[in-house]
Structure formats: structure tokens, C-alpha cells
């Protein structure tokens, strides 16, 4: 006879989406990171995705550092950590060599967030989880970019 607690644990494994990035609360974390990074134009933003004791998923944001193209966490990992997520500039949508090393060392998936894609590494080859505008924020970003390129065109026409 299987103890009830094991059955409940198995059921939660079955009902939980296999891909973390598909969980709505995790998408919210990714959207918040994207916004904090000014959609990839500001320095990289990073957060741990943690599972709280009540089962909900939440973010522990890394402090804003001085690194322009990197993020740094000094100290212990927070309790319940299940993933690391961080932003990249839009032209670098895939995990870097450092990201892969971080995933191997921490044994946590490392997610790379840009306005138009979500990719991850478990230490090996990068996996593209989502490509294309995945959040309302990235759709807004597209509008912002087209209006700024319009400004650029009108400036160059003046010269
Ligand atoms: Zn990275």
C-alpha cells in the first residue's frame, strides 16, 4: 500500500507543467526582470526563482550591481531555489559560456530572458524555450523601438 503523501507528491508532479517557464508566476518573474533591464538596454538583471514553503513560486532579485554585462550574487543561495533567471541584451538571446558553467556548478537551470525569447541551459547545449514576443512587455518594447528608430531617421535626415 502506497502512503497517501507519496500519492499526493506524484500527483503534483503530474499536474505541474514540465517547463518552469510555462508557469504563470515564473512568467511574471521573467516579465519583471525584462522591465528592470529596460528590455535589455539597461544592465543585466537577475533573480533566483524560489519555491516558498507554501508551494508558490517567487523571485529573489539580485541586487543591482555595477557590471554592465553581467550580474553577481554574493552569498548563500536562498532557501527553496529552483532556478536562476537573468536578462541579456536582445542580440545575445542564448546562454553564454559563463551561464553554462554557472548551471553546471549550481545544478540549477539558468534562464536567459530577452524581449523576444526565453532560453535556458542545464549546463549543456542552450535550449530555446520560447521564441517570439512572449510577454505584453516585449510587445510594448517593439512599439518603443520602432518609435525610437523613427527619431533616428528624422535626425539623420536633418544632417
Ligand atoms: Zn548570461
Instruction: Report whether pLDDT(157) > 50.
Output: no
- Tell me: the pLDDT tens digits for 24-33? 999 999 999 9
- Tell me: the pLDDT tens digits for 33-65? 999 999 888 888 999 999 999 999 999 999 876
Q: How would you list the strands of the sheet with 127-131, edge to edge?
A: 57-61, 46-51, 81-87, 110-114, 117-121, 127-131
Residue given cell 551561464 in the structure block? 99
**Contact of 131 with 116, CB cutoff 8 Å:** yes
Q: How far is the CA of 87 from the centre of ligand 1 (A)?
A: 7
Ranges of beta strands (E only) in 15-123 are 46-51, 57-61, 81-87, 110-114, 117-121
Q: pTM of this prediction? A: 0.75
Specify the 3-state DSSP secondary structure of 52.
Answer: coil
Q: How far is the CA of 44 from the centre of ligand 1 (A)?
A: 8
Name which of 59, 60, 2 is nearest 26 in CA terms.
59
Q: How far is the CA of 23 from the centre of ligand 1 (A)?
A: 21
The C-alpha atoms of residue 86 and residue 99 are separated, in whole angstroms, by 10
Q: How far is the CA of 70 from the centre of ligand 1 (A)?
A: 7
Q: Pairing state of beta strands 117-121 and 127-131?
A: antiparallel
Q: Pairing state of beta strands 57-61 and 46-51?
A: antiparallel
- Tell me: the pLDDT tens digits for 77-108? 999 999 999 999 999 999 999 999 999 999 99
Amino acid at each position: 500500500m502506497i502512503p497517501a503523501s507519496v500519492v499526493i507528491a506524484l500527483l503534483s508532479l503530474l499536474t505541474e507543467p514540465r517547463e518552469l517557464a510555462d508557469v504563470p508566476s515564473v512568467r511574471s518573474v521573467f516579465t519583471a526582470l525584462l522591465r528592470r533591464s529596460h528590455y535589455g538596454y539597461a544592465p543585466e538583471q537577475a533573480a533566483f526563482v524560489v519555491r516558498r514553503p507554501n508551494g508558490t513560486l517567487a523571485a529573489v532579485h539580485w541586487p543591482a550591481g555595477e557590471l554592465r554585462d553581467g550580474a553577481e550574487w554574493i552569498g548563500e543561495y536562498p532557501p527553496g531555489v529552483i532556478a536562476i533567471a537573468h536578462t541579456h541584451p536582445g542580440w545575445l538571446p542564448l546562454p553564454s559560456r559563463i551561464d553554462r558553467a554557472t548551471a553546471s556548478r549550481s545544478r540549477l537551470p539558468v534562464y536567459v530572458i530577452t524581449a523576444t525569447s526565453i532560453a535556458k541551459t542545464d549546463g549543456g547545449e542552450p535550449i530555446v524555450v520560447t521564441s517570439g514576443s512572449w510577454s505584453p512587455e516585449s510587445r510594448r518594447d517593439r512599439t518603443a523601438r520602432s518609435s525610437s528608430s523613427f527619431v533616428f531617421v528624422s535626425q539623420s535626415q536633418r544632417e
